[in-house]
Copies of this chain bind each other. A is one copy, B any other.
């Protein structure tokens, strides 16, 4: 019952976009490493680890679009189809890349635990943003069905530990994590999109705005957008840090709830 795998396939046709999650059972086995080598055939010349490492490297360097089975195979010096001896399909490979990279931030902070839930939230947000900046392709992987691997669990555990002091109900703690992560992801996506646009078009942001300027000018003069026309010069300046602003507001919002609860507990 352990190894049929290849024959399944089910209703996975007509994909094309970047989504994880193909054969879940297989993904889980790979993630949690139920890896007993069969004792009959020749020894494998590759390892799952090497494949995932290569895939992450390519994705980091050239984007997820550059991660193709052919590309990986040349990178690893093997035939393309050999990869399918180790991974059931590209979807599962994406799952593995996901969990691989989620494990990174926890190696960084081995030191003291956060003093405060506020600091915990702050660290969580910055850590997540960091991860997403290092690996922007994470934002293109379907994370809904991304199997909860060891790294994902460790991250959750750490986050929950830091948030315990808030004195909220368990589902609310999850709510805090979801809110912060959603905010960070949304923001990271904007940044990643911008970077990708620069890389792909070879056009800087300034040049882009210059292109756009005459059209905006005309729109402003049309009188259809009075609010926007009257905005201060520095409104869209890159001076303003949207991450800091939003994070501060979120923490303030949590704080209000925490205080409420404390007050009602007297």
**Which A residues are closer than 8 A to B by beta carbons?**
10-12, 14-19, 21-22, 24-25, 28, 31-32, 63-66, 140, 142-145, 147-148, 150, 153-154, 156-157, 160-161, 164, 169-176, 178-179, 181-187, 189-190, 193-194, 196-197, 200-203, 208, 211-212, 215-216, 218-219, 224-228, 231-232, 234-237, 239-240, 242, 245-246, 248-257
Contact = CB atoms under 8 A, between A and B. Distances in A.
A32 B211 CA distance: 13
A215 B147 CA distance: 10
Contacts of A65: 14-17
A244 to B, nearest CB: 9
Given A142-B197, A215-B28, A178 B253 contact: no
Contacts of A253: 248-254, 256
B179 A182 contact: no
B237 A200 contact: no
A148 B216 contact: yes
A4 to B, nearest CB: 15
The residue in A182, A197, A212 that gathers the most chain B C-beta atoms within 10 A of its C-beta is A182
B256 A66 contact: no
B147 A225 contact: no
15 contacts: A10-B202, A11-B200, A21-B197, A24-B208, A28-B215, A31-B215, A156-B228, A157-B224, A170-B232, A179-B183, A179-B242, A182-B182, A182-B187, A183-B246, A252-B256
Contacts of A144: 190, 193-194, 196-197
